Amino acid sequence: MGTISKYASLVKFAHTAFALPFALVGFVYAVRSTGAPFEWALLAKVVVCMVLARNAAMGFNRWADRRIDAANPRTAAREIPSGAIPPRAALWFVVVNAALFVAAAALINRLALMLSPVALLVLLGYSYTKRFTAWSHIVLGMGLAIAPVGAYIAVTGRVAMAPVVLAALVMTWVAGFDIIYARADADFDRAHGLHSVPARFTGRRAAVISALLHLVTVYATVVFGLFVSLGTPYWIGAGIFVSLLVLQHTPLRLPFDWVNGAASLAFSALAIVDLL
């Protein structure tokens, strides 16, 4: 495996499809709501910031969890515990991406620069939350929820209610599906003193908590559509998004990556069509 492929696998680059589409929605909404010109160069900076921030977050998570991953049969083949990427090299990868993220934010506007360390604190801090709280899923959701708000700030230099509603949608969506995903490691987490909703509660209670979070997601989806006065394309995308959410709470065992990636892309693509 080549070096680029190793690092792309380290950060699960394909999972960028979870948050990046929502950043694009925040960007297009900012352009439409303020009458600002659509600048491709600015959009490119937003995308670069997203990729760099996510690289730093995922790289740090893999570095921080390297001993945990080595002890877990499900994750022992990951790049750091398997020896494909040395821990020191992974940490340097994090440092470089974090520094470039701050530099890219500085090229956008002052507020983006000022908030970039806060974003990194949430993104990197998540990796340690499972050591002391079962609600680490919420922190993970917060990390991805930064995307639409950050994109709006890039265009306008301020914060507004609509992207905050979109952030709530992303936060509860991610936290809900992460609880479902974490069920596979519930026994391992209990045995090794790690915290998660599935490890703390019974399987049924964890499923209820995930479903309640996704109910909030559905509510935020409706609120965003009504608040922004969106039309048929948005509601079609919202319907697909909610349907894929519901599928995750059925006995069907659909591929985690595919379902959530498809949900994000369908929602965002049709929301952008409507906004444009």
Q: Provide the mean pLDDT of the chain.
A: 93
Query: For residue 14, what pLDDT band results from cuts at 50, 70 and 90?
Result: low
Contact predicate 112/174, CB 8 Å = no
Provide the sign of the torsion angle of the four alpha carbons 267, 271, 274, 276, taken in this order: negative
Q: pLDDT, tens digit, for every residue of 64-73?
A: 999 999 999 9
* pTM assigned to the model: 0.93
Query: For residue 17, what pLDDT band results from cuts at 50, 70 and 90?
Result: confident
User: Could you give the CA distance from residue 154 to residue 171 in angstroms, rounded to a whole number?
Assistant: 20
Contact predicate 97/116, CB 8 Å = no
pLDDT reported for residue 202: 83
Q: Residue 13 pLDDT more than 80?
A: no
- Domains of the chain, by residue range, sit at 3-275
Q: Residue 1 pLDDT more than 60?
A: no
Other Cβ atoms less than 10 A from the Cβ of 29: the count is: 24
Other Cβ atoms less than 10 A from the Cβ of 183: the count is: 16
User: Could you give the CA distance from residue 95 to residue 105 in angstroms, rounded to a whole number?
Assistant: 15
Q: pLDDT, tens digit, for every residue of 204-248?
A: 999 999 999 999 999 999 999 999 999 999 999 999 999 999 999
CATH no. for 3-275: 1.10.357.140
Query: For residue 92, what pLDDT band results from cuts at 50, 70 and 90?
Result: very high
pLDDT reported for residue 254: 75
- The secondary structure of 72-90 as a DSSP string is STTTTTSHHHHTSS-HHHH
pLDDT reported for residue 240: 97
Of 9-18, 210-219, 267-276, the poorest mean pLDDT is in: 9-18
